[in-house]
Amino acid sequence: MFKYPDCPSCQSEYTYEVGGLYICPECHKEWSNAEEKEEISNQEEIVFRDTNGNPLTDGDAVAIIKDLKVKGSSSTLKIGTIVKNIKLVDGDHNIDCKIDGFGQMKLKSQFVKKL
C-alpha cells in the first residue's frame, strides 16, 4: 500500500495529496514532491571540514590546533591534544567527542586538523 510522506514541519503521518501538492491537515503545510527531494539533497550536501579544508567523517582522529578555554571550567585544552573517534553533528559546535581528562566535549571543526 502506498504511503504519503510525513509532514516535514510537524512530522504528522496524516498527509494527503491534492493536485500534485502534499497537504498536512494538522499544521496546514503544503509542499510538492520536488521540494521534498530538494530538501533531502540539501541535507546530503553538508560536508564538515577541518582547518585545512580536509573533509571530516565520523570516527576520525583530530588534533586541536590552538589552546581552547573550556567554558565553565578553569582548565584549557592544549594545542596538539588528540581527539579520537569523533562524531559529527549539526550546529555551531559540530564535533561531539570524549577527551581523556575532560570528558564529553563539543568542538568547532575550524579548531581541529585531521590526523
pLDDT at residue 35 tops 70:
no
Of 46, 48, 64, the closest CA to residue 115 belongs to 64
| DSSP assignment letter at 105 | E
Cell numbers linked to 36: 521534498
Any idea which residue has 571543526 for its cell? 109
Q: What pLDDT band is residue 41 in, cutting at 50, 70 and 90?
A: low
pLDDT score recorded for residue 37? 54
What is the average pLDDT value for the chain, to the nearest integer?
Answer: 84
| pLDDT mean over 11-16 | 88
15/36 Cα distance (integer angstroms): 13
E-state strands within 24-84: 30-32, 62-64, 68-69, 76-77, 82-83
pLDDT at 97: 92
The pLDDT-based confidence of 62 (bands split at 50, 70, 90) is very high
